[in-house]
Amino acid sequence: KKGYVMRKCCYDANGKKTPFGRRGWKMFYCTLRDLVLYLHKDEHGFRRSQMSDNLHNAIRIHHALATKATDYTKKQHVFRLQTADQAEYLFQTSDSKELCSWVETINFV
Ligand code: I3P
């Protein structure tokens, strides 16, 4: 699965709160492949990037959990992603169908 999303970092690995200055929303072209969520500036990112770049902004989703962020009311169509290493992100999608599709895809790969 692929598509544009907005991402906000809430907690870094080991549940450490993401510091101010790095907590903003940022747009990415997101590609889910082989249990890794790759985040690029745009849809050409994969082609242009070295594998080391690809891994730089990648999130491993093995043993991760995606849930609708019903408690986050500032934006619509947002889901929360909690990873095995206890990082936490919010992702805003374009509509409720995309939201369900991302949540299901992440949880059932
Ligand atoms: C953050 C940015 C986020 C905001 C976050 C700020 O500042 O304004 O949009 O989250 O608030 O810390 P920065 O870009 O300097 O990191 P919301 O959009 O959810 O309000 P937070 O610290 O309460 O998460």
Residue 73 reports pLDDT greater than 90: yes
The single residue listed with the structure tokens 């101010």 is 20
CA of 18 to the centre of ligand 1 (A): 10
CA of 106 to the centre of ligand 1 (A): 25
Per-residue pLDDT at 55: 74
User: Whose alpha carbon is nearest atom 5 of ligand 1?
Assistant: 23
Per-residue pLDDT at 61: 96
Q: What share of the chain is helix, strand, coil (3-state, %, to 5)?
A: 25, 40, 40
Q: Of all residues in the chain, what percent carry a pLDDT higher than 90?
A: 83
22 lines ligand 1 (CB under 6 A): yes
Spell out the SS3 assignment of 19-62: CCCCCCEEEEEEEEECCEEEEECCCCHHHHCCHHHHHHCCEECC
ipTM: 0.96
User: Whose alpha carbon is nearest atom 10 of ligand 1?
Assistant: 24
CA of 42 to the centre of ligand 1 (A): 23
Gap between the Cα atoms of 58 and 61, Å rounded: 9
Gap between the Cα atoms of 31 and 48, Å rounded: 14
Residue 77 reports pLDDT greater than 90: yes
Tell me which of 53 and 45 has the higher pLDDT: 45
